[in-house]
Amino acid sequence: MIKLPNTTKKESNMSQQQSILNLIGIKDKNISFISCELEKLPHRGKLIEQKVIYAALQAPHNPKCPRCEGITISWGSTPSKIRVPQAFDHPTLLHLKKARYRCKSCGYTHTLETSLVAKNCFISRATRESIMIRSLETIPEKIIAKLTNVSPSTVSRVLNPLLYERKTNIKTLPKNIMIDELKLMKDTEGAAMNFIFADAKTHEIQDILPDRRLHHLETYFRQFPREVRYHVETVTMDMYAPYIQLVKEVFPKAKIILDRFHVVQLLLRALLQTRIQTMKKFPKDSKEYKLLKKYWKHLQKKHKDLDSVYRFYCYHTRSYSTSFEKVEELLEIDEELTKTYWRVHSLIQAFMEGDQKRFFDLLHQETTEVSSYLVTAIQTLRKMEDYLINSMEYGYSNGPLEGLIRKAKTLSRVAYGYRSFERFKNRFLLICHQVMPVTGRPLYYKKKAS
């Protein structure tokens, strides 16, 4: 049989009181528990059941006067309603009676302060920390406000000052950077798209700018010293012409790396447009039209990845066939489509394998037998031969940056958009762990010093 420790009734009550205070995160020894009630109180225009904890804040000895350090006497108390974290899924309110003191010498009166809340504030520090922790998740600020029982304006006031904790350091830039554009909101100072750049090695966001237009970007990057800009070795980007001009102007010693995804996408888009052009040559009720319309994805796949084992039923031909056989059947429909298909997939294979000789040989072959869409794509790539060589020699890509952009789009979608660019930027950097105040909680992320 387990023997319980011998405790008096008074010690047991004290222990229960301390447990209740610990439950809502109150560690101030000057706060003593009085009672706990479940009451219906108005909250944002509605009557809601809330746990109300009544407590008193009283120092064991009268403190000295903060003005003249004289002797003080008790001078009543002042009530304070403090919002604390939820207890068992109930909104919790702390009714705290704060002791007041009056100086015998100068007559100055003051209220006893507690570490539970900041001075002249009615939202506890624990609630503020809870808001910051929840802000790391991709959820709207209104949901955070609902979970912490505060108003959305309070959430904004807690989060917005954190933006100033992270200032762009104009004395340093990563050796390898990646740049891209993203769409965050409908209109940002007349700009259709925003700009983001990050470290290509660590994938850490360097900054997000409201405008991607060339003159704005040049103004921004020219604030970095010349020796810092000359230190940049590579810049990974898509084939947007103003970005190429930007790099030549502000990073003259950097090598331009075209993102491999955009190169492959350019070639596959040319094949897709060729397939659509071929499809339109036939009547809509013809077998050729229906086959090209239904099985277009098979043409986009790498030829070596086509399945030659699994057979599926094609109701247009009333027969079973594999993915490999279906592509062969589609290529028999039109000769131009066939020539375009083999040139596109040969270029992609050589490019992804880093076979420069084969790739440029294919790039400079005659284009009389391929479609006009592929001719345009090849002419574009011929103008960027030096950058294509860098793409095959270096392993950098914009993949990590595209992942961050997708996260930004998700945040914008779940929050139903943001009106303020700075507020969106602040919240996005919070989610990416790029801005965070130093606190005592181990859950918080602190940016490492570079």
Residue type, 53: I
Q: Is the pTM higher than 0.95? A: no
The answer, yes or no, to whether residue 4 has pLDDT greater than 50, is no
What are 343-395's pLDDT values in tens digits? 999 999 999 999 999 999 999 999 889 999 999 999 999 999 999 999 999 98
Alpha carbon distance 439, 157 (integer Å)? 18
Q: Is 164 a residue whose pLDDT tops 80?
A: no
Neighbours of 235 (CB within 10 A): 24
Q: Please give the Cα distance from 363 to 355 (Å, whole number).
A: 12
pLDDT of residue 16: 66
Read off the pLDDT of residues 279-331 as tens digits, 9 standing for 90 and up: 999 999 999 999 999 999 999 999 888 988 999 998 888 889 999 999 999 99
Pairing of β 90-103 and β 46-57? parallel
**CA dist., res. 221 & res. 233, Å (int):** 15
Q: How confident is the model at residue 448 (pLDDT cuts 50, 70, 90)?
A: very low
Least confident of 129-138, 183-192, 274-283, 326-335: 183-192
Residue 228 has a CB neighbour count (10 Å cut-off) of: 15
Cβ contacts of residue 76 below 8 Å, gap of 6+?
100
Q: How far apart are CA 104 and CA 238, in angstroms?
A: 75
3-state secondary structure labels for all residues of 283-316: CCCCHHHHHHHHCHHHHHCCHHHCCCCCCEEECC
> Which range, of 30-34, 204-208, 399-403, averages the lowest pLDDT?
30-34
